[in-house]
Amino acid sequence: MKDTPEAKLRQISPALDFLAGTVAGMAAVVVGYPFDTVKVRFQSPQIASKYRSTLHAILTIIREERMRGLYRGIAAPLAGAPPLNGLVFSSYRSLLRAQLDDDQATPTLTQVNLAGAGTGIICSLITTPAELVKIHQQTLVRSAYSAVTLSDRDVILHIWRTHGLRGFYRGITATALRDIGYGAYFAAYEATLRYWPRPHASLPEQHSTCNKEVELTPAPHPWLALLTAGGMAGIAGWIVTFPFDVVKTRVQSTPANAPNKLYRSTWSTIIASYRAEGVGVFFRGLAPTLIRAIPVNMVTFATFEAVIHLCS
């Protein structure tokens, strides 16, 4: 069986996957965080009516809170997201290998989907506390000259003192349901690359049997293919699970001891949101999310592939 480029990549060590994913995660956070702030504010029922559109939200936040308003709360994801991204890629590859009898076998898209979904469930154990802190920060609306400050440490200590360890896992069900979208995420990436037309490597001056085999080996994917596949992955992953992201935000942005019991659990949040605002509420904030998803995931996969190829 030929040692194809795809097979070689599947033989990469989990440590290298983790390193490449971590570096890619750092780049993705910096590029996409402002759009994530806008998305969270659209989804929060307390302040959603303040903004009319994605552009209006960005301009309003900059006017009232300066640029730092778009990056408020970035410390938690910048500390947690890069290693989490490393865990995503290393877990995905491990779960993919577990389904294959041979490291050089090509996985089906169903196997890719299952590996991605399993990865999302595993990572939700880390994602839930990190996003809870981030959402508490992002939903604070303050003026640029306000003396009131609330650091990530303040938020963490408040949650710990008020609710203990259990408080950090508020919204974990909705988070896990959302993160199952990693299945569609990786499947879209793989499918785009598999159907992308590639020229074959060739040696024009030699025609031995060995070289004929080389001629049939596909050339590595061009950067345009990797960038396109990354953008498609981001769009597919969010479209499939965005309603659960809305539910997660509503659960996590509502204090656990709030008198309003409508947003206490995943199911009660779904029912209350639908009754109050209709089915459209589950796609609120989708526009800035998709705008963000394309460049962020282009950067994520391009950086990941660059580190993998550089180190291997």
Show Cβ contacts of residue 220 under 8 Å, excluding neighbours closer than 6 positions: 5
Per-residue pLDDT of the chain (312 residues; tens, 9 = 90+): 344 344 444 567 888 999 999 999 998 988 888 888 888 888 777 777 788 888 888 899 899 888 888 888 788 778 777 888 999 999 999 999 999 887 778 899 999 999 999 999 999 998 899 888 888 877 765 544 455 566 778 888 888 988 888 989 999 999 999 999 999 999 999 999 999 987 665 544 554 444 444 444 455 788 899 999 999 999 999 998 999 999 998 898 887 666 667 777 889 899 999 999 999 999 988 888 888 899 999 999 999 999 998 887
Closest C-alpha among 202, 236, 215, 228 to residue 305 = 228
For 218, list phi and psi in degrees, rounded to 5.
Answer: -60, 140
Whether 134 and 99 have beta carbons less than 8 Å apart is answered as no
The domains located in the chain, with CATH, are: 14-197+208-311 (1.50.40.10)
pTM of the model: 0.76
Alpha helix positions (H), the chain: 5-10, 14-43, 54-65, 67-70, 75-98, 109-138, 152-163, 172-179, 182-195, 209-215, 223-253, 266-277, 286-311
